[in-house]
A = this chain, B = another copy of it.
Amino acid sequence: MAVAQTATAGQRRERGGRSARREQRSHGASGPGRPFIKRAIPTYDILSEDNLVRIETAADRILAEIGIEFRDDPAALDHWRRAGARVDGVLVKFEPGMLREILKTAPAEFVQHARSPEKSVRIGGDAVVFAPAYGSPFVMDLDKGRRYGTIEDFRNFIRLAQSSPWLHHSGGTICEPVDLPVNKRHLEMVYSHIRYSDRPFMGSITAEERAEDSIEMCRILFGSDFVDENCVILGNLNVNSPLVWDGTMTRALRAYARANQGTVIVPFILGGAMGPVTNAGAIAQSLAETMAGCALAQLERPGAPVIFGNFLSSMSLRSGSPTFGTPEPAIGSMVIGQLARRLNLPLRCSGNFTTSKLPDAQAMTESTLSMMAAIHCGANFILHSAGFLDGLLSMSYEKFVMDADLCGALATYLDGVAVDDNQLALDAFREVGPGSHFFGCQHTIANYETAFWDSEIADNDPFEKWEAGGAEDAATRANRLWKKKLAEFEAPHLDPATDEALKDFIARKDAAMEDAWY
């Protein structure tokens, strides 16, 4: 395989060179190191217009006949009163079409700026952004097993994300740093995203003042005027399904919207628990809950960026446990995608979900099924692209690099198929003819370096070579890979004056608050 050998040597000499050539590919531009992916394949629309309208009508009836509670946030209720909703205590009911009208001020797509301008991402339209998983209290690796996450784990996952050419975003609460006080965690988390990554990131949503702190740190980084006019941070807000928005969430939501920053609105619906056990009903509920959250952001500040999110899940009929990466939520994502496009809103869907407690065959069966659904449904912002194990409860070091590798495969998948004279290769057929091989032909030599995506983790060697090399499984290779990436990591440059200003802000906040551990 002379050509392949040359390729190997070529890569070792100048990987950047290869990347650069990759990026010249006519079909899409999703080579390593791109700020985000532009999908070159269509979205997959599985439901007919009639059935989409039936689901939209069911959502409208849920909103009009059952309503949504907005708890502990009088200002949110005032917004709804002024908008003409029927408010009875904390229960708000919406006339059909009312929320759709309000949502017309939301942008169909927007740019989230990074401190390195070339790392800024577009969210919406044909853009696809991969972000690390979010919110696990535990971390795990093959050496030390499962334990509570710390700020050092948090920083390590930022480093692993920053060092991956296949992720585009630094994420948010990658894991909970439980070694820090609950009321001060957000300061170190936002600082760590700024310090160890130069990609876009997400801020705190656990309290209105923490959301405001997160945004204030962005003002130090980007300048207040820039922040007022541009999206530089996202907040991920969860509905308390079914049909409840808690004040903690809506006040944080309004804080982000008020500052013209982005919000991701996400109902978490485990079918049979927080929603009906049937898919269509859970989808209608998700649509109703998400529309209400996105609309509230528009009432707080018309034109504030919002991302239409969802999180459907199922449960095991044998154990009653939640299940992730199963077919029903995957297929549900396709429908959610169609509904979001009909609202002309950026979409967040699915992710690398699994209930497996190890980076094993179950983990990647469920993750791949789920990620393929996110790719096909047209998701623009894929939170939870890397790291989850243990039913969202743990971030795994090995799974993180496996998932990032899968994101690389999916970037190539999203490039689709180019159809031009070079790709059709008629000259190659003329050169080679029947019964010969294409190894050394001119067309192969001219194209092999950009021809195929190459996994960092997969072992493609013959059995004997693999066995002689120690007969390792993918988890063992992933364990070696994340350690290598952390050992080689270099933090991107941060202006010392900015760094100081951020540290001063944190010190002042720290001094002003007693530590709170609950």
Q: Which of A386-417 contact B (CB under 8 A)?
A: 390-391, 393-394, 402, 406, 409-410, 412-413, 415-417
- CB-CB under 8 A from A410, the residues of chain B are 327
A13-43: contact bitstring with B at CB < 8 Å (1 yes, 0 no)?
Answer: 0000000000000000000000000000110
Q: Are A4 and B54 in contact, CB atoms less than 8 angstroms apart?
A: no
CB of A335 within 8 A of CB of B417, answer yes
Q: 21 A-B Cβ contacts within 8 A?
A: A3-B272, A4-B320, A11-B317, A41-B331, A44-B376, A46-B417, A66-B429, A66-B433, A272-B438, A272-B448, A274-B438, A276-B438, A280-B424, A285-B429, A315-B452, A316-B458, A318-B454, A326-B409, A327-B409, A355-B458, A356-B459
Please state if B323 and A452 are interface contacts (CB–CB under 8 Å).
yes
| Closest B residue by C-beta to A321 | B460
Cα separation A18 to B7 with both chains bound (whole Å): 55
Given contact pairs A46-B416, A357-B471, enumerate 20 new A-B contacts (beta carbons under 8 Å).
Answer: A1-B320, A5-B320, A7-B317, A42-B45, A67-B434, A68-B434, A242-B432, A243-B434, A271-B451, A278-B424, A279-B417, A279-B418, A319-B460, A322-B460, A326-B455, A331-B415, A356-B474, A361-B474, A365-B368, A390-B463
Is A316 touching B4 in the complex (CB atoms < 8 A)?
Answer: yes
Q: How far is the CB of A465 from chain B (nearest CB, A)?
A: 9
Q: Which of B332, B335, B356 contacts A458 (CB 8 A)?
A: B356
- Give every chain B residue within 8 A of A47 (Cβ-Cβ): 416-417, 419
| Complex CA–CA separation, A3 to B63 (angstroms) | 28
- Decide: B439 and A273 in contact? CB cutoff 8 A: yes
- Contact with A362, one of B66, B390, B415, B457 (Cβ below 8 angstroms): B457
A462 within 8 A of B: yes
As a 0/1 sequence over residues 231 to 252 of chain A, the CB contacts with chain B under 8 angstroms (1 = contact) are: 0000000001011100000000
CA of A272 to CA of B277 in the docked complex: distance in angstroms? 49
Question: Which residue of chain B has its CB nearest to the CB of A446?
Answer: B277
* Nearest-Cβ distance from residue A186 to partner chain B, whole angstroms: 27
Contact, CB under 8 Å: B271 / A453:
no
**A318 CA to B5 CA in the complex, in Å?**
7
Q: Contact flags (1/0) for A85-100 with B, using CB distance below 8 Å?
A: 0000001000000000
Closest 6 CB pairs of A and B: A4-B320, A1-B320, A281-B425, A243-B434, A276-B425, A368-B368
Q: CA of A438 to CA of B281 in the docked complex: distance in angstroms?
A: 12
Q: Cβ of B358 and Cβ of A473 under 8 Å apart?
A: yes
CB neighbours of A316 from chain B (8 A): 4, 452, 454, 458, 460
Interchain CA distance A224-B271 in the complex, whole Å: 53
Interface residues of A in 483-517 (CB under 8 A from B): none
Q: Mark A428-447, 1 if CB is under 8 A from B, else 0.
A: 11101111111100011001
- The distance from the CB of A316 to the nearest CB of chain B, in whole angstroms, is 4
Residues on B with beta carbons closer than 8 Å to the beta carbon of A331: 41, 412-413, 415-417
B residues in contact with A391, CB < 8 Å: 460, 462
A326:B452 contact, CB within 8 angstroms: yes
How distant is A29 from chain B, measured CB to nearest CB, in Å? 15
- Cα distance A478–B362 when bound, in Å? 10
Instruction: Check if A422 is an interface residue, CB within 8 A of chain B.
Output: yes
User: Are B69 and A435 in touch, CB under 8 angstroms?
Assistant: yes
Q: In the complex where A280-B419, A412-B327 touch, is A271 in contact with B54 (Cβ < 8 A)? A: no
In chain A, positions 115-163 with a C-beta closer than 8 Å to chain B are 138, 146
Partner of A452, one of B68, B240, B317, B466: B317
State A417–B335 Cα separation when bound (angstroms).
Answer: 8
A475 at the interface (CB under 8 A from B): yes
| CB within 8 Å for A361 and B459 given contacts A54-B419, A428-B276 | no
Give the distance to chain B from A49, nearest Cβ to Cβ, in Å.
Answer: 12
For the complex formed, measure the closest distance between the CB of A473 and the CB atoms of chain B, giving whole angstroms. Answer: 4
Does A225 interact with chain B (Cβ within 8 Å)?
Answer: no
Chain B, residue nearest A419 (CB): B51
Q: A434 contacts which of B69, B278, B473, B474 (Cβ < 8 Å)?
A: B69
On whether the beta carbons of B460 and A426 are closer than 8 Å, the reply is no
Q: Considering the complex, which residues of chain A in the window 356-374 have a beta carbon less than 8 Å from any beta carbon of chain B?
A: 356-369, 372
Whether B443 and A276, one on each chain, are in contact in the complex, defined by CB atoms closer than 8 angstroms, is yes
Nearest B residue to A441 via CB reads: B276
For the complex formed, measure the closest distance between the CB of A268 and the CB atoms of chain B, giving whole angstroms: 13
Asked if A323 meets B458 with Cβ closer than 8 Å, knowing A331-B417, A402-B365, A444-B276, the reply is yes
